[in-house]
Amino acid sequence: MSSMGVSQRRIARYLEITQPMISRLLKRDVVYYYRELDRVGLSRSLIDHYIEMLSELVVSDQYDKFTITSHMVINILSLRAVCSLKKELSYMCIEGELRDPEIEYYRGLLHKIIAIPGFEKLIPEVGCNFVYAPRHPRGIGDVIGLTGRIMRTSTGLAIYGVPMYGGSRHLARVLCIVARYNPNAKYAVNIKNFNDIPNQLRRMGLSVLETGPHRSMDEFWRSIEITAVNRPDAICDQGGMGLEPVTYIFASSPSRLLEILSEIRVN
């Protein structure tokens, strides 16, 4: 937050500690904090993800959302640390979450999606995620998604991770780009991209655009930005270097999203 130009006084207000304490914390080399977090099983990449998300909320002065999200982040990271250090307490990883009405709403929709007959056939190899923006998203911190993925297992579908604001990085970013041009896009899911899916979606009345293959992630994001201008209901992406072909479906209502997913057939 300090490196983004936020004053120590404002940081202290958000973290609910004193300004002198902020000053003392900033005097220690940041490497020390990364090292201590790594010692309890929390990687730098994971920490950086949450730092970026929380800092954006402070910079945009969203105090209420910061309070809710920071409590959730602390809960998730502390439980992950416990599970890393004490394998016998792994059951704690799914308990004790701060309840938020929008996240509870998301949970209900998530379970409706995975209950769709045949949905397991739509799961990409990399897994599937589902995201929801309660309000027009200004960044991934405004989008609820799983911190993990929906995956196929030998016994059926399994949900890995927990839902939270900023939980999804990739799919949430795709939704944010699409919502910039189509404010009605509030829900998104990524499923397998197979030969007949563009035609199936078009027969449902959806506007479908195709992208890829890509030579890099930068090229992928540029392609999504260009495609989003045309306000598609679905983007069938051919993947590319390090990217599995995936279809992104966007909807303005949960009923429409469920309807679309229920009608897709994989031969």
- The CATH number of whichever domain residue 190 belongs to comes to 3.40.225.10
Q: Half-sphere exposure of 24 toward its Cβ, with a 13 Å CA cutoff? A: 5
> Do both 77 and 162 map to the same domain?
no
> Do both 131 and 191 map to the same domain?
yes
Render pLDDT for 53-108 as a digit per residue (tens, 0 to 9): 888 888 888 888 888 888 888 877 877 777 777 655 544 444 444 456 788 889 98
> Do both 213 and 125 map to the same domain?
yes
The alpha carbon dihedral of 254, 255, 258, 264 has a sign of: negative
> Do both 217 and 252 map to the same domain?
yes
Domain that includes residue 76, residue range: 2-94
pLDDT of residue 88: 52
Is residue 237 within 8 A of residue 212, CB to CB? The reply is yes
Render pLDDT for 180-193 as a digit per residue (tens, 0 to 9): 999 999 999 999 99
pLDDT at 246 over 90: yes
Number of domains in the chain: 2
The predicted model gives 37-64 an average pLDDT of 85
Render pLDDT for 115-171 as a digit per residue (tens, 0 to 9): 999 999 999 998 999 999 998 998 888 899 998 899 988 888 889 888 988 889 899
**Last-in-domain residue among 65, 94, 123:** 94
Is residue 116 within 8 A of residue 128, CB to CB? The reply is no
> Do both 108 and 222 map to the same domain?
yes
Q: Half-sphere exposure of 6 toward its Cβ, with a 13 Å CA cutoff? A: 22
Question: Pick the residue with more confidence: 248 or 108?
Answer: 248
What pLDDT band is residue 200 in, cutting at 50, 70 and 90? very high
- Cα 124 to its chain centre, rounded Å, is 16
**Last-in-domain residue among 33, 65, 94:** 94
> Do both 46 and 170 map to the same domain?
no
> Do both 30 and 106 map to the same domain?
no
Q: How far is 140 from 168, CA to CA, in rounded Å?
A: 7
Residues pairing with 163 in the sheet = 146
> Do both 37 and 105 map to the same domain?
no
Q: How far is 151 from 159, CA to CA, in rounded Å?
A: 6
pLDDT of residue 236: 96
**Last-in-domain residue among 71, 94, 117:** 94
> Do both 230 and 252 map to the same domain?
yes
For the chain, the C-alpha Rg in angstroms (whole number) is: 20
> Do both 243 and 120 map to the same domain?
yes
Q: Name the average pLDDT for the chain.
A: 88
